[in-house]
Structure formats: C-alpha cells, structure tokens
C-alpha cells in the first residue's frame, strides 16, 4: 500500500491528474478572457499579455506536446497542434504591429477564434489522451508547465540516464528533454540496451531534425548523443 500522502481517490478532487487538469483549464480561461477584451476598439495588445501568450505556447510545447510527441496514439495530433500554435504565434505578432483600430479589432477576433478552437482541442483530445498514455505523469508535466508560465526554467540535464526508470515511462521523459533543446544543443542518453525503437520514434516525430551519435555501444551500457538540428519544429 502506498504511503498515506500518496493515497487518493481516482476521479475526485484528490486525484492529482484532475488537479493538474484544473490548472490547465484555469490558464486557458485566463487567456480567453484577455483576448476577449482585445476585441474592444479601445483595447490594445499589452506587452504583459503578449508575453504571457508566448509563454503559454512555449510551456505547452515543452511539456504537454513533448511528452505526447513520442507516442503512436498522439504523434499526429501533436504535429497538428504545433502547426496551429505556430500560426497563433504569428497572429500575435501581427496584432502587436496593427496600428489601425479597426484592423486591430479584426485581428484580435480572428486570433480569439483560432485560440478558442486550439484550446478546445487541447482540452477535449490532448489532455485525456495524455492522462491515458502509459508512462505519462500528467501532474508532473503540469508542474513543469506552471514553472515555465511563471517565467522559470526547467532542469535541463546534459545526461539523461533512464536505466532506473520503468520501460513504459522512459520515452515521455526523453522527448520532453529534447523539446527544450535549441538548435545545436544536445544531451547524452544513457540506457541499458540499444534504443532502436526510440530512434524510430524520433525519425517519425522529428524527421531530419536530430542527429543520433553512439558514444558507447554496450554490452552493459549504451550512451547516445542526441542533438537538435536547426530548423526543426
């Protein structure tokens, strides 16, 4: 039986996944309220809100999308969401550059519509899929999401040793780390077997966007340097 502090009743407010989902819901609602105000002619896109929206897109990509990108069940969904997020980011920049009041209101309404649909897909499809994904710890992902939203930085280890992590939980950890690399950055993956299935997942998820270099090839331990290539989304 787990320690008392870890006991909870699933699907109640003691369930850590439900508490995590509530955090995301609150963030979504705050963003939509901020955008709704921008559709009024006298309102302008403030720097604080613009930065918050960009932080949201970054936090979501580095946590929720990253964890889901390596799974067959959610890979195509994440690809579509990342494409939509890129479009939203460009519309935020266009809105910030709009000087004409009527043009700005139109841009704000278009952005509000896109973001409403985008957040709806996250809530209705992505989050339930993540909660059901083997090896995915939703509460930890949302904790990391909150850290980025508050302007903090996540721990970025140069070595990711997964040998002590149960097999079903390794890939979400690895893809989450990769998502925080900038072009040219890398980390060393340490494993107790040659992770060929992981490499195939990377090829499916980030085609042409990474390099895979064996630093050590068994027989007891494998080390692979995984590097992000410029231009990969």
Please report, in tens digits, the pLDDT of each residue of the chain (233 residues total).
344 444 444 445 556 778 888 889 999 998 888 877 766 655 565 667 788 889 999 999 988 998 888 777 888 999 999 999 999 998 888 777 776 777 777 778 888 889 999 999 999 999 988 888 776 778 888 888 999 898 888 877 899 999 988 877 788 778 888 877 888 999 999 999 999 999 998 888 788 889 999 999 989 999 999 999 976 54
Do 212 and 112 share a structural domain? no
User: Which residues does residue 212 pair with via DSSP β-bridges, in sequence order?
Assistant: 226
Residue 98, pLDDT score: 72
2 lies in a domain?
A: no
Instruction: Determine contact, residues 27/149, Cβ cutoff 8 Å.
Output: yes
Last residue of a domain, one of 148, 175, 206: 148
Angstrom distance (rounded) from CA 129 to CA 112: 25
103 lies in a domain?
A: yes
Q: How far is CA 140 from CA 54, 130, 187, in A?
A: 21, 12, 21
Do 141 and 67 share a structural domain? yes
34 lies in a domain?
A: yes
Do 29 and 102 share a structural domain? yes
5 lies in a domain?
A: no
77 lies in a domain?
A: yes
Q: How far is CA 73 from CA 9, 63, 67, in A?
A: 27, 17, 12
Do 123 and 99 share a structural domain? yes
Instruction: Residue 219: give the domain boundaries.
Output: 155-228
Q: What is the number of structural domains in the chain?
A: 2
Residues found in the chain: 233
| CATH number assigned to the domain comprising residue 190 | 3.30.110.40
Do 123 and 179 share a structural domain? no
Angstrom distance (rounded) from CA 227 to CA 233: 13
Instruction: Determine contact, residues 192/221, Cβ cutoff 8 Å.
Output: yes
Do 119 and 181 share a structural domain? no
Do 191 and 77 share a structural domain? no
Residues 6+ apart with CB under 8 A from 89: 54, 57
Instruction: Determine contact, residues 119/30, Cβ cutoff 8 Å.
Output: no
Whether the bond into 222 is cis, omega within 30 of 0: no
Q: What is the largest CA-CA distance in the chain?
A: 67
Residue 41, pLDDT score: 56
Do 189 and 224 share a structural domain? yes
Do 194 and 164 share a structural domain? yes
Q: How far is CA 203 from CA 51, 130, 190, 194, 207, in A?
A: 32, 21, 19, 16, 5
Could you give the 3-state DSSP secondary structure of residue 212? strand
Last residue of a domain, one of 91, 126, 148: 148
Do 138 and 85 share a structural domain? yes
Strand order in the sheet with 222-228: 159-161, 186-191, 222-228, 210-217
Last residue of a domain, one of 103, 131, 148: 148
216 lies in a domain?
A: yes
Could you give the 3-state DSSP secondary structure of residue 75? helix
Could you give the 3-state DSSP secondary structure of residue 210? strand
What is the overall mean pLDDT for the chain? 82
Expressed in angstroms, the distance from the first to the final Cα of the chain is 43
Find where tokens 């494998």 sit: 222
């Amino acid at each position: 039986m787990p320690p008392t502090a870890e006991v909870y009743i699933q699907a109640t407010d003691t369930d850590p996944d439900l508490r995590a989902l509530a955090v995301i819901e609150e963030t979504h609602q705050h963003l939509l309220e901020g955008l709704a105000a921008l559709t009024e002619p006298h309102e302008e896109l403030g720097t604080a809100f613009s930065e918050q929206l960009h932080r949201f897109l970054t936090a979501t990509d580095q946590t929720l999308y990253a964890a889901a990108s390596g799974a067959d069940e959610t890979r195509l969904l994440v690809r579509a969401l990342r494409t939509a997020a890129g479009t939203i980011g460009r519309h935020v920049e266009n809105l910030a550059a709009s000087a004409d009041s009527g043009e700005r209101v139109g841009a704000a309404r278009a952005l509000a519509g896109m973001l409403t649909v985008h957040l709806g897909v996250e809530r209705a499809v992505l989050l339930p899929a993540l909660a059901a994904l083997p090896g995915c710890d939703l509460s930890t992902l949302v904790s990391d999401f909150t850290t980025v939203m508050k302007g903090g930085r996540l721990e970025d280890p140069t070595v990711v040793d997964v040998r002590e992590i149960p097999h079903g939980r390794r890939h979400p950890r690895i893809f989450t780390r990769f998502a925080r690399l900038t072009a040219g950055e890398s980390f060393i993956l340490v494993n107790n077997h040659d992770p060929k299935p992981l490499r195939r997942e990377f090829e499916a998820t980030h085609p042409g966007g990474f390099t895979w270099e064996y630093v050590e090839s068994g027989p007891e331990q494998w080390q692979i340097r995984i590097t992000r290539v410029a231009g990969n989304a």
